Chains A and B, each alone.
Chain A
Amino acid sequence: MSEKQFKHKLYVKKNIEVSFTASTLEKIKTIISHYPEGQQKSALIPVLHIAQEELGGSLNVDIMDYVAGLLNITPIEVYEVATFYTQFYIDPVGKYVIEVCHTGPCALCGGEDILSYLEEKLNIKVGETTEDHLFSLKAVECLGACGSAPVMQVNTEYHEFLDIEKIDEIIAKLRSERELKKPEELTWKERLS
């Protein structure tokens, strides 16, 4: 194997202790019980969602290995799923992931302008994260809300019928919330970086 392959981010294990809280483990147990006996692998996508949400906003090898152990499957089975689905982030992301739809109907209604406005406003390019780890900007394909285009999603919340004023308002709101409470997620990310 070439050296390059070993440097792939999926091979970088930092050996950080990863664990869910007891209540999360209970939640995962319920999810596994939704599937027939021996089919606990079905719970993989829901569990990865929980892992990403509770363990700092993105996945890494340590988290994925931990999930593999929980579901009693091999780590590679987790990696291949985590890299296939666009909602799982392998690279660290900011506290707020802004995903702007730029597919057909949204593009017709100005989705691409929204994207370039956000690039300018946050002073980052698509795919990057602001220096304060607050915002990540992503261009995504259809969010299934074409009737209220242009649309973007901030973490799990939809924002529709966007225009410049609305975006200013949303960004200001998100910024001020940070000043109110210090996110615990940031400390986790600091440990990783």
Chain B
Amino acid sequence: MERKIILENIEVKGIRSLEVYRQNGGYQSIEKALKTMTPDEVVAEVKTSGLRGRGGAGFPTGMKWSFIDKKSGNPRYLICNADESEPGTFKDRYLLEHIPHRLIEGMICAAYALGANKAYIYVRGEFKYIIGILNEALKETYKAGLLGKDILGSGYDLDIHVHSGAGAYICGEETALLESLEGKRGNPRLKPPFPAIKGLYGCPTVVNNVETLSNIGWIVNNGGETYSKIGIGRSTGTKLISACGNINNPGVYEIELGLPVEEFIYSDKYCGGVKGGKELKAVIPGGSSVPILPKNLILKTIEGQPRLMSYESLSEGGFVSGSMLGSGGFIVFDEDACIVRNTYNFSRFYHHESCGQCSPCREGTSWMESVLHRIENGEGKMKDIDLLVSIASKIEGNTICPLGDAAAWPVSAAIRHFRSEFEFHVEHPDVVKNIKHGKLPIEAPQI
């Protein structure tokens, strides 16, 4: 069943403006929340809804909110994480570009629930035009009395400002984002203390993804109970999936969690099948950080059950035969894609983006990159493959932030599922030297 929550009305002409957005039912949740509900009631609704963080980790949002320290007497902050830079993910950009008021509406409700009087939207520096769109939208909202002092006569004050990053993937990690917002290098902080206790300027802070916050308005309007009935099991609600790679219809799709992966890939409503009528080879279902899965494991779990688009189903089988929903960056590889080349590519990405704070990540990512580079160029040795597995296992879990894990997982998963391709590169240096993303004369592994 098709259901729209976040992308509802996104096709309406002029929805970017406050006027049209309000004509289509926008900002009703503000009146409801500010006039008829206490902040704790809003938190309770979000808890009931079962909404989980849409940035990648999938942590229950209501729970995150309930951790915020309300006793310290320090000002509280709400931060919207719009530093979308995970390769394969471009859903937040789509939302911000087309329907910025949905985010602002959600942020007002969220800030009210948290008792925050100041909120920031941290946008990645490359999205300069989006900063313009957001500032324009905020200006309209202030003018309409939905932001600023005494919103709608409720006595509640809130200011939202847009802050721009400057091109650092690591600033998508919440504590690195806070450092960056304080005008420093994006070096993640040690947790605990968690941001809910000591965040921005040492004050209680909640950092939420754009998509997460865009859900809040709907939840306040329709109740957490209604929201929790959408989706499947503990994966409630809908999720934006940004599909890209070798498919016919790349784009952003809102799906109800629980949709079969097979339907998502082959239905004309979504990806529309693999481009050029080629065979599907592999999929990375949740942004570049999550393990890659070969065709047989992405369509069905190891037990033969159909794989569904949900937090639980995609991670079924652990990392041995499963992956993660992550941020919803769905990257599809056709039969001609070279997995070694792609793994090298992602390793280079993580090497470039490592902040350099923790030795395992700083040294490990560059080491993996150079080993993969030599395998890709036909200069690798057989023992290099095990060396990669060993480096990856030594980075994983030994760093302050999850970037280390994110760098390790794609490498170990690629070797786990496509080891024969790595071996082929070592054994046939002359062949691989001449191939870019070309098809290798070997079969995808069968499990």
A interface with B by C-beta (< 8 Å): 34, 36, 39, 41-46, 48-49, 71, 73, 77, 80-81, 84-88, 102-105, 107-109, 112, 140-149, 153, 156-158
Contacts of B316 in A (CB 8 A): none
Asked if A45 meets B345 with Cβ closer than 8 Å, knowing A39-B182, A143-B126, A147-B90, the reply is no
- Whole-angstrom distance between the Cβ of A84 and the nearest chain B Cβ: 4
Given contact pairs A41-B183, A46-B163, A109-B246, enumerate 18 new A-B contacts (beta carbons under 8 Å). Answer: A39-B201, A42-B182, A45-B180, A49-B164, A73-B183, A85-B168, A104-B87, A104-B342, A107-B437, A141-B352, A141-B353, A144-B85, A144-B90, A144-B92, A147-B90, A147-B243, A149-B250, A156-B126
Whether A141 contacts B166 by the Cβ 8 Å rule is no
Please name the residue on chain A nearest to B346 by beta carbon: A104
CB<8 Å pairs between A and B, sample of 10: A42-B183, A71-B183, A84-B355, A85-B125, A105-B244, A142-B87, A146-B329, A147-B90, A148-B250, A153-B126
Could you say which of B86, B161, B185, B251 contacts A84, with CB atoms under 8 Å apart?
A: B185
- Annotate B175-190 by CB proximity to A: 1 below 8 A, 0 otherwise: 0000011111110000
Size bracket of the B interface: 35 or more
Could you say which of B244, B349, B355 contacts A149, with CB atoms under 8 Å apart?
A: B244
Contacts of A147 in B (CB 8 A): 90, 242-244, 250-252
Asked if A144 meets B180 with Cβ closer than 8 Å, knowing A87-B167, A108-B437, the reply is no
Please name the residue on chain A nearest to B249 by beta carbon: A147
Which of B163, B331, B341, B342 gathers the greatest number of chain A CB atoms within 10 Å? B163
Contacts of A142 in B (CB 8 A): 85-87, 169, 288, 349
B interface with A by C-beta (< 8 Å): 75, 84-90, 92-93, 118, 120, 124-129, 159, 161, 163-169, 180-186, 201, 242-246, 250-252, 288, 329, 331, 333, 337, 341-342, 345-346, 349, 352-353, 355, 436-437
Whether A144 contacts B436 by the Cβ 8 Å rule is no
Provide the bound-state CA to CA distance between A85 and B179, in Å.
13
Please name the residue on chain A nearest to B333 by beta carbon: A108
Which of A81, A87, A140 gathers the greatest number of chain B CB atoms within 10 Å? A87
Whether B342 contacts A107 by the Cβ 8 Å rule is yes
Asked if A144 meets B126 with Cβ closer than 8 Å, knowing A46-B163, A46-B164, A149-B250, the reply is yes
Please name the residue on chain B nearest to A35 by beta carbon: B161
Asked if A156 meets B128 with Cβ closer than 8 Å, knowing A39-B201, A108-B246, the reply is yes
Whether B184 contacts A109 by the Cβ 8 Å rule is no
- Whole-angstrom distance between the Cβ of A174 and the nearest chain B Cβ: 17
Could you say which of B165, B181, B245, B337 contacts A85, with CB atoms under 8 Å apart?
A: B165
Asked if A104 meets B164 with Cβ closer than 8 Å, knowing A45-B183, A81-B183, the reply is no
Contacts of A88 in B (CB 8 A): 166
Could you say which of B93, B118, B245 contacts A105, with CB atoms under 8 Å apart?
A: B245
Whether A146 contacts B166 by the Cβ 8 Å rule is no
Provide the bound-state CA to CA distance between A143 and B333, in Å.
20
Provide the bound-state CA to CA distance between A75 and B98, in Å.
39
Whether B288 contacts A104 by the Cβ 8 Å rule is yes
Contacts of B185 in A (CB 8 A): 80-81, 84
Provide the bound-state CA to CA distance between A158 and B245, in Å.
19
Please name the residue on chain A nearest to B162 by beta carbon: A34
- Whole-angstrom distance between the Cβ of A38 and the nearest chain B Cβ: 9
Whether A87 contacts B126 by the Cβ 8 Å rule is yes
Contacts of B337 in A (CB 8 A): 108
- Whole-angstrom distance between the Cβ of A112 and the nearest chain B Cβ: 7
- Whole-angstrom distance between the Cβ of B155 and the nearest chain A Cβ: 21
Asked if A86 meets B182 with Cβ closer than 8 Å, knowing A103-B345, A103-B349, the reply is no
Whether B168 contacts A103 by the Cβ 8 Å rule is no
Contacts of A36 in B (CB 8 A): 75, 118, 201
Contacts of A112 in B (CB 8 A): 436
Whether B250 contacts A42 by the Cβ 8 Å rule is no
Provide the bound-state CA to CA distance between A84 and B250, in Å.
32
- Whole-angstrom distance between the Cβ of A163 and the nearest chain B Cβ: 15
Please name the residue on chain A nearest to B126 by beta carbon: A143
Could you say which of B120, B165, B437 contacts A45, with CB atoms under 8 Å apart?
A: B165
Contacts of B288 in A (CB 8 A): 103-104, 142
Contacts of B352 in A (CB 8 A): 141
